[in-house]
Amino acid sequence: MSNPSAAVASTTPVRKQFDMNASTQISERHVPAEFLPENVEALSGEDEQLKDAQWFRSGEPFRSMHKNNPWLVPPVGGNGVPATRPDGALTKRFHCPLFEAGRSAEGGGLNGTPYYDTTVPRKHNYWKQFDDLPSETKDIRKARRDLDKYGFCLIEDAMSEYQRAYMRERLEKQAEAERACGLADMTPHFHIMWTLVNKGDCFAKCIEFDPEWVQGGPMIEQLNKELLGPGHYAYSFASNIARPGSYPQTLHQDSGAIHPIQTPHAPILVNTVYIMQDVNEVNGGTLVIPTSHRLVSQTKPGEEVGALPPAVNVEAKGGTVMLMDGRLLHGTGVNHTDEWRYIMTNSNVKPWLRQQENWQLSIDPDVLANASEKLLQRMGYYSAGLLEIATYSGPKTTVAVRLAMEKGEYKRIRALDEPVEPSIKEELLIYKMKQQIDAARNAKKDVKGNAAAY
């Protein structure tokens, strides 16, 4: 490297060449030339970067997955290309030639047929050869086998008929109202209705897997815990309402938050799918590629995803809950009927993954004020970052701050200089909470001390 004092000044930044006199204004502040943006860029060509960066740019494993399975290409309107009018209505219904000709058993990817033009496993020419495919069960051991081998299981009667019918009616009324006032989140696939926890106590109880509203809750909770470990929390809870004539959704993994990273040993996300009515190939039962949770996630860096088995529609009765590994390739199917098709999806994740729904801000204050400890944990209030003073940060602090914000009473610690007027200190919310927490901690110490004295 040349002597900086002997370097010749340049009026134009030089790319791909180290410039010791670049950014004179910055260098006058004695910043080493090696740290200047143009010099960092000059030494950061693609061939000079870490192998990790090359891997992130590779597009794998999805580039090879689509190259080796061209039938996975979504139709226009099914991959984000607008298929709706400004009012949210579809420009036209989606049609599946094989389905309409009564030949959908040959579809789903067989011989290059589209993934979305298919049928349910027991009717499909490929999958009907397997005698151990997931089927509705109350046996937790079978549910485990199905999850492990195929990537999903079907828990029979996880909702009682009363639970299913009540929540289905609540969903319908809410969805119709949101569409009527122009607040519906509409896509070519479905109306997706977010933040269900605000829209009925029954939905908040589902997040807790409370048997009051999901009688199969204990089994569902156990399987989530086995897949995600203790301390998992909710990523989101929304209703996916497939519209009449809906376009098929691109097949995808729901663990996309960490793509292209794959986790071959265990999922980071598990979907609990509440099936609110009978679903099948006719009304847009969820499209899945059984076993794809293993086939894709176990592909090593530098290797390609090979040929995949065909896609099929999930078939299940209303009241069933489907548990689905977040690595499984899936998507909303084509709804060939004139009726809306209702399901709810509660995704749970490892507690270090940022939530999809921002429940720190979106939860109604009445729901928050009355939330159980379990609901607070599932909504992420136990995983929130610290608030101003670590010693006094915690779930209750986070809830108190959020509720104070609602009332316009949250005063933050701003830039201070001594002496600090008592009135300034006393109006800070964190100071008020500190006083309350210290008093509670001292009271506990007194109780323990008195007990020891006796």
pTM of the model: 0.87
Nearest one of 292, 289, 290, 286 to 333, comparing CA atoms:
286
Sequence spans of domains, the chain: 4-44, 62-362, 390-453
Tell me the pLDDT tens digit for each residue of 50-86: 988 888 888 899 999 999 999 999 998 776 677 888 8
Q: Which helix (H) or strand (E) holds 449?
A: helix 429-453
Confidence band for 20, pLDDT divided at 50, 70 and 90? low
Comparing 52 with 39, which gets the higher pLDDT?
Answer: 39
| H-state helical runs in 46-160 | 51-57, 62-68, 97-100, 140-150
Contact 362, 198 (CB under 8 A): yes
Largest CA distance in the chain: 85
Q: Can you say whether the dihedral through the CA atoms of 231, 235, 236, 241 is positive or negative?
A: negative
Residue in 425, 415, 385 with CA at minimum distance from that of residue 401: 385
pLDDT tens readout for residues 315-364 = 999 999 999 999 999 999 999 999 999 999 999 999 999 999 999 999 99
Instruction: Give the residue, 295 or 303, on which the prediction is more confident.
Output: 295
420: confidence class by pLDDT, cuts 50, 70, 90: confident
DSSP 415: -
pLDDT band at 17 (very low <50, low <70, confident <90, very high): low
CA pair distance 316, 17, nearest whole angstrom: 63
Q: What is the mean pLDDT of the chain?
A: 89
Q: Of 276-280, 360-364, 387-391, 434-438, where does the model show the most confidence? A: 276-280
Calculate what percentage of the chain has a pLDDT beyond 90.
68
Instruction: Determine whether domain 62-362 maps to CATH 3.40.50.2000.
Output: no
Q: Is the pLDDT of residue 11 over 60?
A: no
DSSP 244-268: TTPPPPPPB-TTGGGTT---SSS-S
pLDDT in tens, 252-263: 999 989 988 999
Would the pLDDT of 182 be above 80?
A: yes
Under the banding of pLDDT at 50, 70 and 90, the label for residue 250 is very high
pLDDT, average across residues 2-26:
47
pLDDT band at 150 (very low <50, low <70, confident <90, very high): very high
Q: Is the dihedral of CA 164, 94, 286, 256 positive or negative?
A: negative
At 449, the pLDDT band (50, 70, 90 cuts) reads low
**Rounded alpha-carbon distances, angstroms, from residue 61 to 69, 257, 349:** 12, 15, 22
- Distance, CA of 184 to CA of 241 (rounded, Å): 11
Q: Residue 86 and residue 270: Cα distance in Å, rounded?
A: 34
441 vs 227 pLDDT, higher one: 227
Q: How confident is the model at residue 4 (pLDDT cuts 50, 70, 90)?
A: very low
Of 37-46, 81-90, 131-140, 186-195, the one with minimum mean pLDDT is 81-90
Q: Assess contact for 343 and 316: CB atoms under 8 A.
A: no
β-sheet bridge partners, residue 274:
321, 344
